[in-house]
Structure 1
């Protein structure tokens, strides 16, 4: 009940949060969010040490602590996160676990979220009840699909091996559903996880006691990494500032400087999300939710569990990215998994991968909000990935490409590709951060719309030229 206690202090003017927010140069909602995220770790300790043994009270512990966090951050607006849970429980009972329930759940939750955005969204970074709502939207849509997949399995229908892992044969209990929704480690910013994982966790199917030392060490390591990235974010945004990028002074610098600056700004701006995900992952591990099978071992070695089942960031892949596909593979992994399994693959009936990918990115843009910047960012992702895949397919099998990677020239190529990814990640992320058309358009103008010049003409200008060059090289090499 810490959240409610702090809320009461705030209502009577005795909360220390506004003072500390001013001291470190952030907003009160942002500091409250950080405190709530950090609270997940000790809650995991308390749960395992005191509440886990009481089987009847496990869901209740998650509901009370999650509601406490919701009330602390959003006050009476917390009811907005309760309504979709009540609705899916009722519609599953009413319609059954079928395709109609999936359609209703998707339409209702996306509509509810978008109405929330319209009523709360501003030009700044908003911390309102829509933040956990966007996480909850994906969790409930996935739940409806998993229930449908379970019924299809019962009827002998074919579903993918991945869907079999999360498919549900029985419907959630009301207490279980509320515990799943308000699970305190993930309620605010994710990561999303399946109801099947939650049931396995709540039913003691994960080897928490058997691997407790490894679990606690892994959780603490992730906690330290999260705090490290949080510090790096604070330092980074103090050096690379969006406010400076919007100033007249920025226009007076060279075009190369502006590109590098915006790229480095974006890299550090993403640390905000990475730090949050690392901290929440640490809490998930500390609870014991993140079990993901066992590591490979040799005969005679002790079995060691893996606790990366709720990981939302692959740090080495992200930091070493040399193409945008690496960013997609490493960043916001659970949301990308949702998009792949519940949107992209479910659009297979369209018979067109590019169309399926475009509609998937459109869904993700809509899920983020109504501002034009979100749609521009995901459009950038579409045209960049489209170009990268075709470019790599054309040159990857050429002798010249293989010779470069087998010589010392590979270091120069790596440096070039690393620079390319950082610079154009800045280009892609600018609209996402600025949201409003006139803001991101003006900043794009300062960059001379370079991303559009690089990626948009690919199919009808650069691709034909590249194909001819490759054919010429192959003939001359013979």
Structure 2
């Protein structure tokens, strides 16, 4: 009940949080969020020492600790997070766990979230009840679709391998549902996980006794990584700031420096999310929720995997040389949700580009109502579209086939592509961070709207030129 204690100290003016926040240059809500995220790890240790042996108290423990965290951060407004859970529980009882229930859940949860954004969202980075609610929205939508898939599975209809892993033949009890909702390790910022995983976790289907040393070691390793990235974010954020990019002084610098500065700003800005996900993953691993089967390392010897709640692939993220690498490595669980519950279920449109467009539109809506979100996801669409068409064209060229194996050329290409990925990830992220038109337009003006000039004309300008040049340079034998 640490959250309740800290909240009480805040009411009587004795909480140390405001003073610490002012000392480190953070806002009080941001520091409360960090304290709450860090609480997940000791709560996991307490769970294994005092609670796990009592099955009947497991859900209750998650509910009490999760509600405590919610109350500490949002006070009475935390009731918003409970309403959709009650609605899906009742709708599943009334409508049954089928198609109609899934549609009702989708519409209700997205509507509730968007209304919440309208009421609470400002031009700043808001930490309100909508923060955990956006995580909750995906969890409950996925739950309703998993229940629908469970009914299809019972009827003998064909499901994909991924759908089989999450399909639910039985609806959760109310206690299980609320425990799933308030699970303290990732209630605030995710990552999202399926109810099937949660059910397997509380039903002792994961080898938590025999693999205790493995997940304790892996959890601590992730915790250290999270702290390192949190420190790197603080340092990088002090060097590369959005405030400076909005200043007149920034627009007077060389255009190359401005682009590089923006790219480095974007990279360090993402560390805010990376550190949070590493810290929450550490807690999930320490709880034992992250078990993901085992893999063979040598003949006859296997090793357990604890990456079931992994939300960031660090090596791929840090070594990204194209936008797709960022998509594949960043916010992995949300991207998995978007692929499985939105993109693949839009197959009836008959066009993968349309499916991708509407998936990105959904993700923009899920983030908020400010224009910056939609510009960022539009940027993602046009960049991915160009990359997917350009890469196979380049690989067919004579120059690529002749020089691609040369080690010096490989390193030169890596450096060029790394700079490209770094700069245009930062460029794409600007609207997402500042949110409002007046600010992102100011920054984009100082960068001469270079991303739009590079990616938007691809189909009608650059692609025909490149194809014609490749045709001219082909050997006569082709």
Pairwise TM-score range, normalised by the shorter structure: over 0.9
For 1:226-245, what aligned pairs fall within 5 Å after superposition? Answer: 226-245=226-245
CA distance in 1, matches of 2:403, 2:269: 33
Q: What CA distance in whole angstroms lies between the structure 2 residues aligned with 1:297 and 1:390?
A: 37
Q: Which residue of 2 aligns with 1:438?
A: 438
Q: For 1:318 and 1:171, how far apart are their aligned partners in 2? A: 37
> Contact (CA 8 Å) 2:45, 2:287: kept in 1 or not?
yes
How many Å apart are 1:395 and its aligned residue? 1.5
- 1:215 touches 1:286 (CA, 8 Å); kept in 2? yes
CA–CA separation in structure 2 for the residues paired with 1:330 and 1:477: 41
Find the residue that maps to 1:233 and give its secondary structure: helix
Q: Counterpart of 1:340?
A: 339
Q: Which residue of 1 aligns with 2:154?
A: 154
Offset at 1:453?
A: 0.4
What is the CA-CA distance between 1:473 and the residue it aligns to?
A: 1.7
CA distance in 2, matches of 1:425, 1:342: 26
The answer for the alignment partner of 1:370 in structure 2 is: 369
1:47 corresponds in structure 2 to 47
Paired residue for 1:404? 403
Partner of 1:29: 29
Instruction: Provide, for residues 346-376 of structure 1, a one-character-per-residue CA deviation record: whole Å limited to 9, x for no partner.
Output: 0001000000000000000000000000000
Q: Tell me if the contact between 2:382 and 2:455 (Cα under 8 Å) persists in the aligned partners.
A: yes
Aligned partners of 1:211 and 1:304 also within 8 Å: no
Give the structure 2 partner of residue 193 of structure 1.
193
The C-alpha deviation readout for 1:87-114, integer Å capped at 9, x for no partner, is: 0000000100111111110110011001
Contact (CA 8 Å) 2:398, 2:473: kept in 1 or not? no
Unmatched tracts of structure 1, length 5 or more: none
Mapped to 2, the partners of 1:450 and 1:304 lie a distance apart of 48
Deviation at 1:298, TM superposition (A): 2.5
Change (3 A) 1:327 1:204: same
Worse-matched range after superposition: 280-289 or 292-301: 292-301
Task: Summarize the alignment of residues 53-68 of structure 1 with structure 2, pairs less than 5 Å apart.
Answer: 53-68=53-68
In structure 1, the residue matched to 2:135 is: 135
The match for 1:428 is 428
Question: How many residues of Structure 1 are paired with residues of Structure 2 in the alignment?
Answer: 477
Q: Provide the C-alpha distance between the structure 2 equivalents of 1:469 and 1:334, rounded to a whole number of angstroms.
A: 41
State the 1:435 CA deviation: 0.3
Q: How large is the Cα RMSD of the aligned pairs?
A: 0.9
CA distance in structure 1 between the partners assigned to 2:453 and 2:252 by the alignment:
22
Answer yes or no: is the 8 Å Cα contact 1:322–1:414 preserved in 2: yes
The answer for the alignment partner of 2:392 in structure 1 is 393
Shift of 1:394: 1.1
- Mapped partners of 2:474, 2:179: distance in 1: 61
How far has the Cα of 1:401 moved from its partner?
1.4
- Partners of 1:31 and 1:138 lie apart in 2 by 25
CA contact (8 A) 1:51 1:57 kept: yes
Which 4+ stretches in 1 moved above 4 angstroms?
Answer: none
Give 1:243 deviation, angstroms. Answer: 0.5
8 Å CA contact 1:396, 1:402 repeated in 2: yes
Q: Give CA deviations for 1:194-236 in whole Å, capped at 9, x if unaligned.
A: 0000000000111111111111110000000000000000000
| Residue 462 (structure 1) shift | 0.4
- CA deviation after TM superposition for structure 1 residue 297, in Å: 2.8
Counterpart in the other structure of 2:259: 259
1:53: how far off? 0.1
Secondary structure in 2 aligned to 1:304?
A: strand
Alpha-carbon separation, structure 2, partners of 1:298 and 1:12? 60
* Structure-2 residue corresponding to 1:219: 219
Give TM-score scaled by structure 2 length: 0.99
Deviations, residues 134-189 of structure 1 (Å, cap 9, x unaligned):
00000000000000000011111111111000000000100000000000001000
CA 1:394 to 1:25, structure 2 compared with 1: closer, same or farther past 3 Å?
A: same
1:477 and 1:326, CA in 2 relative to 1: closer, same or farther beyond 3 A? farther
Deviation at 1:403, TM superposition (A): 2.9
Between the aligned partners of 1:336 and 1:477, the Cα distance in structure 2 is: 44
Shift of 1:300: 4.9
| CA displacement, residues 261-308 of structure 1 (integer Å, 9 cap, x when unaligned) | 00000000000000000000000000000001112132353x321000
Q: Deviations over 1:324-346 (max 9, x none)?
A: 00000000000000000000000
Matched residues in 2 for 1:321 and 1:477: separation?
36
| Contact 2:45–2:286 under 8 Å retained in 1 | yes
The aligned residue for residue 320 of structure 2 is 321
Shift of 1:397: 2.9
Distance 2:45 2:67 in 1: 19
| Partner SS, residue 420 of structure 1 | helix
What residue is the counterpart of 1:459 in the other structure? Answer: 459
Q: Secondary structure at the match of 2:298?
A: coil
Q: Distance in 2 between matches of 1:187 and 1:3?
A: 14
Contact in 1 for aligned 2:230/2:275 (Cα 8 Å): yes
Corresponding position of 2:83: 83
Between the aligned partners of 2:352 and 2:188, the Cα distance in structure 1 is 33
Q: Deviations over 1:228-256 (max 9, x none)?
A: 00000000010001111000100110111
SS at match of 1:128: coil
